[in-house]
Structure 1
Amino acid sequence: MTSPRPRTPVARPVIAVAGLGIESSTFSPARTGAPAFHPLRGEGVFGRYPFLAPGEPLREAAEWHGALVGKALPGGTVTAGAFAELSGELLARLRALPPLDGLWFDIHGAMTVEGLDDAEAVLLARVREAVGRDVIISTSMDLHGNVSRELVHGSDLITCYRTAPHEDHVETRERAARNLVETLTSGAPRPLKAWIPVPVLLAGEQTSTRMEPAKSLYAAVADVASADGVLDAALWVGYAWADEPRNRAAVVVTGDSADAVTAGAERLARGFWAARRDFAFAAPTGTFAACLDEALASAARPFYISDSGDNPTAGGAGDVTWGLAQLLARPEFRDPAGPTVLYASVPAPEAVAAAVAAGVGATVTVTAGAAVDARHAGPLTLTGTVHAVRHGDRDARTEVVLRVGGVHAILTELRKPYHHEHDFTGLDLNPRTADLVIVKIGYLEPELYAMAADWRLALTPGGVDQGLPRLGHTRIDRPLFPFDPDMPDPDLSARIIPPSDEPR
C-alpha cells in the first residue's frame, strides 16, 4: 500500500446520494420485490434527511444531487429481478449526474439478493465503476449490517448506528454526510481504515445498548472516535438471520494515523470478544404460554409480550399465525369479560377486505395469515366484531381490528410493524389501558418500552427465531460464537485496508 496521496480541497463539492437498504432473513420463505423499497428519486431523496433540507448548513456546504434511495421494511430475500431493476436505475441516474467529488452511500448492510453474496459490496463496486475512482464514498449503515473486506475497501469512509434500539439513525447519517463534506473541503487524503472481523454472531435482542455489556462497548466507540488521529469508529453486531460468510460482528476505525486507527480498532474488537459470553436478552424470556401465564398473574398494566419469532422489523414474514392461534385457544382470552388484549398483527388482505365491506360493528368470519409462512401454523379462521378500520398507512395500506372475546386482533392488507402509540390509537385502541399488549417485535421500541409496566420476550417460532442454532446456518464462516462455544481465541489484529483507488 502506498502512502495516502494529498488531494486538492474542493470549496463546494458536488455530492450524490444513493443507496438501497433492507434486512433480509434467509430463513423466511418471503421474497421482497422492488415496490417494497418505496424508492425516492432526485430532489425527493432529500425529504428523507432533515439535515439536508434547504437552508441547512450541511445542504449549503455542497452541491447535492439525489440519485435513488430505497428503504424497505425488513423481509425476505430480495428477488434478482427487483435488485436488477432498482440497481440499474440507481446506476443510470448516477451516470446522468454532473462529475462528482463525493457520494454518500446510505444502506442497511444486511440485504440478501437471490444469487448474490454480499449484495451491498456488489452494488458498491458497480457504483464505483459508474462514478469513477477519484470520487470519495462515505457509507452509512445499521449496526446490524455486515461488513466484508470488500465493502470496507470500496468505501473511503464508513460508519454505523451506536444505539439499539436505533435512536441515533438521523445522527449517524448526518455524521456520514458531514465527514464526507469535511474530507472533500479540507483536501485530506483518503482516510486509513482499520478493519477487524470478530467471529461472534448474536441476535439484536441480545445486544441492546440499553444494557450491559453493549452499553459500555458502544460508549467505548465514541471514546475511540474522539482520539487524536481518528476520524470515526464503528462497531457492527452483524445480522444473525441470514446465512452468508460475511455474517458476523466487525469493527472499522478510520483516520489519518495508522497507529491510532489500529489501536482503536483492536480495543473495540477485543472488548467485544471478551464480552461475548456476557450478552443476554433485553428482557426476561420464556415460552409464549409461560409469558401469558406471567402476564395474567402480574398486577403490572399494561403488560407487554414480544412475539419475537415473526418480527417484521427483523425480517419475519409477519403472517405466522402461531402466536394468535395460541392466544385464542385459551378460554380466558375468548371471554369478553376477560382481560383486554391487543395483538399486532397478521397480514390478511382477503380478511381485511371482508371486514371493510362489512363495516365497523359487523360480525364477520374470516381466515387470516400463513399465506407466506405456513411452516408453524396454518391459516387461522376467526369470528369477531369489526372494531375499527383505517386506510392509507404507508406499510399496511388498510388495517382492521377484529374483536374476538377480549382480544383485539389487528389484521393488515400488507405487513406492518407496530412501534408507536399512534399505531394503536389510530385504530381506536388504547395501549395504556389494555391489560396485555402482544406485538410482533424483538426488543421494545422506545415508545412501547416507556409505556410497558412490565415486559417479556416470548421465544416463538418464525423466520427470525431467537434460537439461532436451531435455524440451520450452513454457510457462515466457522468457527463462530455461539455456534462454536469453545472455539479458540481468534486473531483480532487490525487489517489496514488499502484506499479504494488502490487494488485490494
Structure 2
Amino acid sequence: MTANPRIALLGFMLESNGFSAPAEEAEFRQKLFLEGDALLEDARAETSRDPGGIKGFVAEMDRAGPWRPVPLAITSAGASGPVEQGFFDRYLVALAEKLRAALPLDGVYIEAHGAATATVEPDPEGTLYAMVREVVGLDVPVVSTLDLHANVSRAMVERTDLLIAYLTNPHVDMFVRGEEAGRAMRELLGGVRTSKAFVRLPILPASVTLLSDRGPYGAAIARGQELCTGPILNVSVLGNFSLGDCAKNGMSVIVTSRGDQAAAEAVARELAGMLWARREEFIATLTPVEEAARRLKEACDNPALPPLLFADVADNPGGGARGNTTAILRAFLEAGIDRTAFAIHFDPELALEAHSKGQGARFRAVLNRSETTPGSDRLEAEAEVMALSDGNIVGRRGIIGNRRQALGLTAWLRLEGRIDVVFVSIRHQCADTATMEHLGLDPRALRGIVVKSRGHFRAGFDDLFADEQILEVDGPGLVTPMLSRVPFRNLPRPIFPLDEAVEWTVPVDVSVG
C-alpha cells in the first residue's frame, strides 16, 4: 500500500444535447468553475457546489488514512449543447499543465458526466482520459465516476483503470459513488489490477423509461449489484443520453473485476442479454397536453381529488432544453386553471424587468420576447410581481439536497391572477421545492405544479406527490422522449426502436485490453 499517497483531483462535467446551442466558456464559469485550493475547500464544506463525486471521494480518502490531495480544477455546465471546441482545448491544456506540475502522483480521480461532445471532438471524455494517461503513465491508477446517462466509448474504458456510474435515477448517490471511488483507489494503491468488460447495445431508450427503481433498467441495475461480489469490483449499467446524437449513443454495460477477466465478461454478457430481451419496454408513453389540462381542471374543481404534478419532460434544462416552452402554460391559462405554479421558467429579460418594477407591480408580461428556438413561443399575460430574489438557494432534497445553486435574478409572477410562474436568469431544471419556497411560494397550498424536469424532480418532490399523482406531459422541447420525432444525424445505425427489425446478439468477445 502506498503510504500518504498524492492524488490529483479534477473534473469536467457536461451532458451534450446534439440539438442545443454550443456550451461556451461563460456558461461553465457561471455554473461551476473551481481551481486549486477553492476546489478542495468546496469539497470539504458543509454545503458545496460540487455535484458530489469529489466531495464523496475526499470524504472517503480522509476517513481511510493519510493522503495528500492535489486539487487541480473542475468545471461543469450541467446539460447544454456540445462544448465549444476552443474552450475545451484551453481547459485541457490548462489541466495538462497543472497535472505535469503536480508530478509525481500516485493516483488521479476524475469527476465526469460522460455524455459530452464538442463542436469538433466527438469524445471529449476519451480525450481527457487519454491526456491524463499520457501525463501520469500506465502505472498510476486513474479512477473516474460517471453519470448513468453517459454515452460511453471504448476509449473511455481503455484509458482508465475503473469507471463507476451512478446507480440511482433520480441521481441521489453522487456522494456515495465518490466514496466508492475512494475505496477503490485505496485498493488500486495496494496493488490490485483491474480487468474490464464492455458492451454497448443498439438500444436508444426514452429518457423517461430509465428510472432506477422500476422496469427493465431498474432490474438490470439490481441484478448487477447482486453480481458485484467476489472478484467483481464494480458493475455499471449506463442508460445513455439519447439526445446526444453521437456515435457513442446506445445503452452500455461496464464490468470491472480484480484481475478476473472471465468473471467480468460473464457478468457483462448476462446484463446485456437482460436489457436486449426487454428492449420493447424502453419506448415512452406520455400524456397529451389537452388531457393534462382536463385532469388538472378536475382537480381544481374537486377538492376531494389529490393535487397533481406535471413533468414537462421535453423542455427539461437538465437535458439541454431551453426551459421556457409555453405550450402547457398557454393551455392551462386557456382552460381557466388556477392554484397552479410553474417552476421554473428561464427568461432573464422578464426576471430583470420584474426586478426593475419591484414587488407588487402590475404590468403586461411578455415571455420569450427574444427567443428563436422552436417551441419557446412568445406569450403575453397580465402579471403581478409577488416576490423577488437573487436566486441563491440551498437544495432541500434530491439531486441538489444540501448543495448551493444559483438561479440568477429570480421573480415570482402571478399571471392573469391565477397561475404562478417562477422566472429565473440561469437555466436549470426544477429538481427541488427550494426553487419555489425561497420566494414564499408554498407548493403544499397548490392544486397543481408543473416542473420542467425529466425525472430528478421525483427525489425533490417525493414527500409531496406519490407516483399516481405524477403525469409526464407530451409538450414541445429539445429533449422530447418521443424519439421518432427527433432528426438524428450521427447515431450508430441500425438502432432500436428507430429502425425496424434490428438484429443483435451479445458479442462473444467483450474484453477490454
- Map Cα deviations across residues 458-498 of structure 1 (whole Å, 9 max, x no partner): 01111101111211112111111111242112333342111
- What is the aligned partner in structure 2 of residue 407 from structure 1? 419
- The answer to whether the Cα contact below 8 Å between 2:207 and 2:481 also exists between their aligned partners in 1 is no
RMSD of aligned C-alpha atoms?
Answer: 2.0
- What is the aligned partner in structure 2 of residue 395 from structure 1? 406
- Map Cα deviations across residues 336-361 of structure 1 (whole Å, 9 max, x no partner): xxx20101222222211221121111
- Map Cα deviations across residues 382-434 of structure 1 (whole Å, 9 max, x no partner): 32100110114243211101101210011112222222222211111111120
- What is the aligned partner in structure 1 of residue 201 from structure 2? 198
Deviation at 1:204, TM superposition (A): 2.5
- Map Cα deviations across residues 150-181 of structure 1 (whole Å, 9 max, x no partner): 11000111110111111211111211222012
- The answer to whether the Cα contact below 8 Å between 1:53 and 1:59 also exists between their aligned partners in 2 is no
- The answer to whether the Cα contact below 8 Å between 1:28 and 1:373 also exists between their aligned partners in 2 is no
Alignment of 1:68-467 (within 5 A): 68-184=73-189, 186-189=190-193, 191-226=194-229, 228-255=230-257, 256-279=259-282, 281=284, 285-298=286-299, 299-328=304-333, 330-333=334-337, 339-369=338-368, 371-393=370-392, 394-404=405-415, 405-443=417-455, 444-453=457-466, 454-467=469-482
Deviation at 1:31, TM superposition (A): 3.5
User: What is the alpha-carbon distance in structure 2 between the residues aligned to residue 88 and residue 373 of structure 1?
Assistant: 35
User: What is the alpha-carbon distance in structure 2 between the residues aligned to residue 367 and residue 131 of structure 1?
Assistant: 54
- CA gap 1:109/1:356 in 2 versus in 1, 3 angstroms: same
- Map Cα deviations across residues 206-256 of structure 1 (whole Å, 9 max, x no partner): 111121222221111111211x22111111111101111111111111111
User: What is the alpha-carbon distance in structure 2 between the residues aligned to residue 370 and residue 304 of structure 1?
Assistant: 27
Deviation at 1:88, TM superposition (A): 2.5
- The answer to whether the Cα contact below 8 Å between 1:317 and 1:373 also exists between their aligned partners in 2 is no
Match among 17, 20, 38 for residue 12 of structure 2? 20
- What is the aligned partner in structure 1 of residue 398 from structure 2? none
- What is the aligned partner in structure 2 of residue 472 from structure 1? 487
Deviation at 1:203, TM superposition (A): 2.5
> Could you tell which deviates more after superposition, 228-237 or 123-132?
123-132
- The answer to whether the Cα contact below 8 Å between 2:206 and 2:282 also exists between their aligned partners in 1 is no
- The answer to whether the Cα contact below 8 Å between 1:201 and 1:481 also exists between their aligned partners in 2 is yes
Give the number of equivalent residue pairs: 479
User: What is the alpha-carbon distance in structure 2 between the residues aligned to residue 234 and residue 210 of structure 1?
Assistant: 15
Using structure 1 for the length normalisation, give the TM-score. 0.90
- CA gap 1:106/1:387 in 2 versus in 1, 3 angstroms: same
Matching residue's letter, 1:445: R
User: What is the alpha-carbon distance in structure 2 between the residues aligned to residue 308 and residue 108 of structure 1?
Assistant: 20
User: What is the alpha-carbon distance in structure 2 between the residues aligned to residue 483 and residue 248 of structure 1?
Assistant: 12
- What is the aligned partner in structure 2 of residue 35 from structure 1? 29
Deviation at 1:274, TM superposition (A): 1.0
- The answer to whether the Cα contact below 8 Å between 1:29 and 1:373 also exists between their aligned partners in 2 is no
User: What is the alpha-carbon distance in structure 2 between the residues aligned to residue 55 and residue 148 of structure 1?
Assistant: 28
User: What is the alpha-carbon distance in structure 2 between the residues aligned to residue 233 and residue 397 of structure 1?
Assistant: 39
Deviation at 1:89, TM superposition (A): 2.1
Match among 2, 6, 11 for residue 3 of structure 2? 11
> Could you tell which deviates more after superposition, 299-308 or 352-361?
299-308
Structure 2: which 5+ residue stretches go unaligned? Answer: 44-49, 393-404
- CA gap 1:247/1:295 in 2 versus in 1, 3 angstroms: same
- What is the aligned partner in structure 2 of residue 502 from structure 1? none
- The answer to whether the Cα contact below 8 Å between 1:376 and 1:461 also exists between their aligned partners in 2 is yes
* Identity, % of aligned positions: 26
User: What is the alpha-carbon distance in structure 1 between the residues aligned to residue 124 and residue 61 of structure 2?
Assistant: 33
User: What is the alpha-carbon distance in structure 1 between the residues aligned to residue 365 and residue 375 of structure 2?
Assistant: 20
User: What is the alpha-carbon distance in structure 2 between the residues aligned to residue 319 and residue 331 of structure 1?
Assistant: 20
- The answer to whether the Cα contact below 8 Å between 1:165 and 1:446 also exists between their aligned partners in 2 is yes
Does residue 482 (structure 1) correspond to residue 497 (structure 2)? The answer is yes
Structure 1: which 5+ residue stretches go unaligned? Answer: 1-8, 334-338, 499-504
SS in 1 for 2:497: coil
Matching residue's letter, 1:250: S
User: What is the alpha-carbon distance in structure 2 between the residues aligned to residue 417 and residue 253 of structure 1?
Assistant: 31
Deviation at 1:380, TM superposition (A): 2.5
Deviation at 1:29, TM superposition (A): 3.5
Using structure 2 for the length normalisation, give the TM-score. 0.88
User: What is the alpha-carbon distance in structure 2 between the residues aligned to residue 296 and residue 493 of structure 1?
Assistant: 55
- The answer to whether the Cα contact below 8 Å between 1:138 and 1:156 also exists between their aligned partners in 2 is yes
Deviation at 1:120, TM superposition (A): 0.8
- CA gap 1:425/1:392 in 2 versus in 1, 3 angstroms: closer
SS in 1 for 2:488: coil
User: What is the alpha-carbon distance in structure 2 between the residues aligned to residue 245 and residue 64 of structure 1?
Assistant: 35
Matching residue's letter, 1:135: V
- Map Cα deviations across residues 186-217 of structure 1 (whole Å, 9 max, x no partner): 2123x111111111111321111121222221
Matching residue's letter, 1:248: G
Match among 23, 38, 48 for residue 44 of structure 1? 38
User: What is the alpha-carbon distance in structure 1 between the residues aligned to residue 279 and residue 223 of structure 2?
Assistant: 16
- CA gap 1:150/1:55 in 2 versus in 1, 3 angstroms: closer
Deviation at 1:70, TM superposition (A): 1.4
- The answer to whether the Cα contact below 8 Å between 1:301 and 1:433 also exists between their aligned partners in 2 is no
- Map Cα deviations across residues 266-316 of structure 1 (whole Å, 9 max, x no partner): 1111111111112465xx721112112112224543310011111011111
- What is the aligned partner in structure 1 of residue 47 from structure 2? none
Matching residue's letter, 1:468: L
SS in 1 for 2:352: helix
> Could you tell which deviates more after superposition, 102-111 or 318-327?
318-327
User: What is the alpha-carbon distance in structure 2 between the residues aligned to residue 295 and residue 325 of structure 1?
Assistant: 14
